[in-house]
Structure 1
Amino acid sequence: MIVPADAPAFSPDPAVPDFVVVDVETACARVSSICQIGIVGFRAGRELFAYESLVDPCDEFSPFNTRIHGLCEDHVMNQPTFAGIHAAVDGHLGGRVTVAHSLFDKSALAAACRAHEKPAIEATWLDSVRVAQRAWPDLPSHRLSALAKFLGLRHKHHDALSDARAAGMVIVRAIEHTGIDLAAWLKPAATRAAPVPRPAADGPLKGERIALLGAKRNGTLAQALAQAGARVVASVGPTTTMLVVANDQPYGRFFHASPAHRRADELRAAGSPIAIVREDDLLQRIALTAASTDEACASA
């Protein structure tokens, strides 16, 4: 394997993983509230080691999060805090190619390091969602549970260790399926991106500046919104009027903890009228508006 000069070095030591995978579960909407962590190391397409721990989040458990992963205060009683496992986590991830299924886990680890006044964990991150989207672009969903079913993996969703194993196998199978090695996956895709669609001159979304959570600015959703008159912007900012949560966003039920959603929440708290809507709801609204317009024209 030829490794580009700017790529991380892959060790010939069989005890050193080619990459590691991390997944965390959180106790509440605060992304720093890690209550479970799973880490799996892979080498030559096989599992090399596994590490997992329940974690006292030093925070409350929300009923919403507990319904998702089944963890509550009783499970983490007498378990270490994140500060107590930081050294172990950093030892597994630090300086290595670290995979996460969406970069929610990267954000959660960074937030936990800040909350517990621990050094940031420096790693070379690889998003297995993006890998899956390139490897199997025609799949209707690239969520981890859908990929596990597609690939025939044993998987217990929202168990940190099981999620980490599944995300690692997504990378392994993508390498096998495409012939693209790990070093190449770490480089940006060579294909030129399609242009961002221009907003139509008129339509039910004319004047709206819309950011997308979990969808590309040049994808199908963006095109539909542009045809309705909206301008699709790169990120949530002071002039954004709407954040649209895509059906296939990779955060699952934790989409509210994504950076885009948190930024929108901050703007709303500061008085911004930015709306947060789901893709299906907005597309239905557009369709109803179009139907009403057609009916009005027919009766005129």
Structure 2
Amino acid sequence: MTAIPTETEGAVAAEPSVDFVVVDVETACSRVSSICQIGIVGFRDGREVFAYETLVDPCDEFSPFNTRIHGISCDHVVGKPTFGHVHEIVDGHLTGRVTVAHSTFDKGALAAACRFHDRRTIETTWLDSVRVAKRAWPDLPSHRLNVLTRFLGVRHKHHDALSDARAAGMVIVRAIDHTGIDLAGWLRPADSKGGPAPKPAADGPLKGERAFVLGQARDGPLAVRLAELGARVVASVGTTTTILVVSDDQPYGRFVQASAPYRKAEDLRGAGSALRILGESEIRDMQGT
């Protein structure tokens, strides 16, 4: 098992390359800058390759409410480093990498702590594992981390920064495995609307159709094909949509039917709509290309 460096050991020597890192923080009170624990885990090829955890003197008061949540009090952080002292370690783990956090709270807390302690902002590419989980398992009643870990069968001690970071990392690993969407795919916005839709041709086999494109922007090449065939490309699936066209490069892989636009289209069809679901190849066939 990979040894977990403590706050007195500093950064890992010869730290391995990673696909992404995960960070979680706990705070002492309602001020988000009051970080009192940090956990960071690195993942490569779906496995943990390093971990870092430290208690932090928040230079702030401890709220009884927060202490009840995570169990950390002022007694636990006596003699521990401040965020200003560990900033270089945290920055070294995160800067220039993809950093996962479960919700945007940790991103905001780190930014606030950097300002409070007069340290440079940590420059990293953020990925919200809540957003990933909602897209991978849309039918779950909640996407809180403790709910997800029970669903996925992942061991987890909620509100412990290191355990939370490990758990959020496993959400990403399992989502990649479940959907077939790789890390780069999760970093792309889902169903990006893009710029204005192309103007439909005055005539064509799809004249009068209102088409939604799943997996490409509404100004992308598939939308252009549809417009050339006379269809009007719309921004979302609704009661007036007549065609849902699934792009060949849509990000959902074999789980495309779990995507929100596809499920909405199926619901409309179940309610009696004549909406058709077509593949990109069928649109190419219409153009004879």
Task: Give the shorter-chain TM-score range.
Answer: 0.5 to 0.7
Distance in 2, Cα, partners of 1:146 & 1:195 = 30
Distance in 2, Cα, partners of 1:15 & 1:51 = 13
Counterpart of 2:27?
26
CA RMSD of aligned residues (A): 2.2
- What CA deviation, in whole Å up to 9, does each residue of 1:163-202 have, x standing for no partner? 0000000000000000000011000002667589xxxxxx
1:55–1:79 CA contact under 8 A, matched in 2: yes
* Secondary structure of residue in 2 paired with 1:38: strand
Matches within 5 A, 1:129-208: 129-190=130-191, 194=236
- What CA deviation, in whole Å up to 9, does each residue of 1:244-264 have, x standing for no partner? xxxxxxxxxxxxxxxxxxxxx
Aligned residues: 187
Counterpart of 2:49?
48
1:14–1:43 CA contact under 8 A, matched in 2: no
* Secondary structure of residue in 2 paired with 1:95: coil
1:37 alignment partner AA: I
2:98 matched to 1:109?
A: no
1:25–1:34 CA contact under 8 A, matched in 2: yes
2:71 matched to 1:73?
A: no
**CA radius of gyration, larger in:** 2
- What CA deviation, in whole Å up to 9, does each residue of 1:93-124 have, x standing for no partner? 01100000001000000000000000000000
Q: CA 1:195 to 1:25, structure 2 compared with 1: closer, same or farther past 3 Å?
A: farther
* Secondary structure of residue in 1 paired with 2:184: helix
Distance in 1, Cα, partners of 2:105 & 2:236 = 26
- Following superposition, the deviation at residue 14 of structure 1 comes to 9.5
TM-score, normalised via structure 1 length? 0.60
- What CA deviation, in whole Å up to 9, does each residue of 1:214-234 have, x standing for no partner? xxxxxxxxxxxxxxxxxxxxx
Distance in 2, Cα, partners of 1:14 & 1:61 = 34
Q: CA 1:194 to 1:68, structure 2 compared with 1: closer, same or farther past 3 Å?
A: farther
- Following superposition, the deviation at residue 41 of structure 1 comes to 0.2
Counterpart of 1:94?
95
Distance in 2, Cα, partners of 1:98 & 1:15 = 16
1:68 alignment partner AA: I
Counterpart of 1:123?
124
- Following superposition, the deviation at residue 15 of structure 1 comes to 2.0
2:101–2:107 CA contact under 8 A, matched in 1: yes
Query: What is the identity percentage for the equivalent residue pairs of Structure 1 and Structure 2?
Result: 76
Please list every run of 5 or more consecutive structure 1 residues that lacks an aligned counterpart in the other structure: 1-12, 197-300
Counterpart of 1:274?
none
* Secondary structure of residue in 1 paired with 2:100: strand
2:81 alignment partner AA: P
